[in-house]
Amino acid sequence: VLDNAYEAVSNAMKYARCTKIEIKIHVLNQMLRCSISDNGIGCKEIEDGMGISGMRRRVREVNGVLNFETEAGFTINMLLPINEG
């Protein structure tokens, strides 16, 4: 989660021309949901460069789900299982 949040914030600062970045974390039913949003310019097409492909790989390794919303800024949503023990 931390590596992906860092990557998302770094990308927003480099490319989005945003004035606000918001990180939300919720836990419900053994799942962690993390959303990182900015109010920047958004994008029409997501380029699968090193940062995005690394985010996909890290989420896949823990059997999570990653998706992107590109309207009204840019949002990265991660849904990750929480393992007990």
Mean pLDDT over 42-68 rounds to: 90
- Distance, CA of 48 to CA of 42 (rounded, Å): 15
Residues with Cβ within 8 Å of residue 27, at least 6 apart in sequence:
33, 82
Quick check: 41 pLDDT over 80? yes
Mean pLDDT over 14-38 rounds to: 96
Give 85's pLDDT tier (boundaries 50, 70, 90): low
Rounded to 10 deg, the angle between the 50-61 and 2-11 helix axes is: 160
Give me the CATH code for the 2-81 domain, please. 3.30.565.10
